[in-house]
């Protein structure tokens, strides 16, 4: 369990211990039922009808947080025990996906737009991480420039809104990007993730969303920039590199160039083919992209020149 969540639970535990709080097992049962939270371990607890221990209280907080109902639960607690002094935890709320405003908690949703052109395994990694609660966020749209991109189907399978934006003849890059921007602004996206998006973005677009766009590249930048697909891995093998890997970076006006957030290495084996190397790197891509999005969504990234520092 995350320390911040534990600390928040501690603050309220002190309050519920007082008999005047009126908080006991039956209150808990009704409240969790009202929030639509069911859990076998909690059910067992009801039958024991013992006082709520600190461990049980932690477990309940974790469960409610996983169900994305923490803001609602905390507001119910405020009505019951009054507001509490949040102390230093106030600054950590956003990492728990919370905002505290005018005496009430709100759920902070980090909104992500993913741009794709192909099979969408990186998109899938983000979807899975969100569903497992690893990233406190929501994909508010997936945009593709290719109608048949399997990534669109993956999004639909998870109830995510999809947009197919084809490139029209005689349309400038900027005109195309304005169509992307319209969706991104309507959806109020906090972050734009290029997950295998095979189009170069205009300077207009990159400047409009400065440090709000990230890209995943299947090599260790600055080596092998500007290449994509199998060509990257072929070039790595032809050069005789002993290591390769992937890079997640912010997007600036040059291709595969912005400040680097995460890199992960993969050893190149003597019997590697472009395909086998691509496959091993892809696994690292999925991990890196999820880690980078998590860090950004938790506000833990600072860009200093070309260097990205993580707190
Ligand atoms: C990945 O290798 C990524 O690094 C590159 O395009 C590929 C997309 O793969 N930018 P997928 O569509 O996410 O499976």
By the 8 A CB rule, do 92 and 5 touch? no
Length of the chain: 311
Q: 118: Cβ below 6 Å to ligand 1?
A: yes
Mutation test residue for ligand 1: of 122, 245, 278, 286, the one with most atoms within 8 Å of CB: 122
- Give me the residues paired with residue 263 across strands: 247
For residue 150, the tally of other CB atoms under 10 A from its CB is 16
CATH number 3.40.50.170 is the correct assignment for the domain at 110-310: yes
CA-closest residue to ligand 1 atom 9: 196
- What's the CA-to-centroid distance between 198 and ligand 1, angstroms? 9
Q: Which residues are catalytic?
A: 217
Q: State pTM to two decimals.
A: 0.76
Q: Give the pLDDT of residue 139.
A: 98
CA-closest residue to ligand 1 atom 8: 196
Q: 280: Cβ below 6 Å to ligand 1?
A: no
The 10s digit of each residue's pLDDT in 119-162 is 999 999 999 999 998 998 999 999 999 999 999 999 999 999 99
Q: 285: Cβ below 6 Å to ligand 1?
A: yes
Average pLDDT, the chain: 93
By the 8 A CB rule, do 300 and 310 touch? yes
Task: Write out the two tokens for 156.
Answer: 């639909």
Half-sphere exposure of 106 (CA within 13 A, CB side): 8
| 49 pLDDT more than 90 | no
Where in the chain are the domains?
Answer: 2-107, 110-310
The Cα 80–Cα 15 span in angstroms is 10
Q: Which atom of ligand 1 is nearest to the CA of 232?
A: 2
Report the pLDDT averaged over residues 34-49: 82
The enclosing H or E element of 30 equals: helix 25-34
The 10s digit of each residue's pLDDT in 168-199 is 999 999 999 999 999 999 999 999 999 999 99
The Cα 195–Cα 293 span in angstroms is 12
């Amino acid at each position: 369990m995350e320390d911040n969540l534990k600390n928040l639970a501690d603050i309220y535990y002190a309050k519920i211990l007082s008999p005047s709080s009126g908080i006991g097992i039956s209150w808990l049962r009704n409240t969790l039922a009202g929030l639509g939270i069911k859990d076998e371990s909690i059910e067992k607890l009801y039958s024991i009808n013992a006082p709520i221990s600190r461990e049980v209280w932690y477990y309940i907080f974790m469960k409610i947080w996983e169900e994305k109902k923490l803001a609602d639960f905390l507001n119910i607690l405020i009505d019951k025990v009054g507001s509490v002094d949040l102390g230093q935890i106030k600054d950590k709320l956003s990492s728990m996906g919370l905002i505290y405003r005018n005496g009430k908690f709100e759920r902070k949703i980090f909104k992500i737009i993913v741009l794709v052109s192909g099979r969408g395994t990186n998109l899938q990694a983000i979807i899975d991480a969100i569903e497992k609660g690893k990233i406190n966020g929501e994909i508010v749209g997936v945009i593709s420039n290719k109608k048949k991109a399997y990534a669109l189907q993956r999004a639909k399978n998870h109830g995510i809104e999809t947009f197919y934006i084809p490139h029209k003849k005689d349309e400038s890059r900027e005109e195309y990007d304005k169509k992307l921007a319209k969706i991104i602004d309507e959806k109020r996206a906090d972050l734009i993730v290029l997950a295998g998006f095979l189009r170069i973005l205009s300077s207009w677009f990159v400047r409009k969303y400065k440090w709000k766009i990230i890209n995943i590249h299947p090599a260790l930048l600055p080596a092998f920039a500007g290449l994509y697909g199998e060509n990257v891995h072929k070039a790595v093998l032809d050069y005789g590199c002993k290591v390769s890997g992937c890079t997640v970076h912010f997007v600036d006006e040059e291709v595969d160039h912005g400040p680097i957030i995460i890199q992960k290495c993969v050893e190149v084996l003597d019997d590697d083919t472009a395909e086998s190397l691509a496959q091993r790197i892809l696994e690292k891509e999925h991990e890196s992209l999820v880690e980078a999005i998590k860090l950004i969504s938790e506000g833990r990234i600072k860009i200093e020149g070309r260097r990205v520092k993580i707190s």
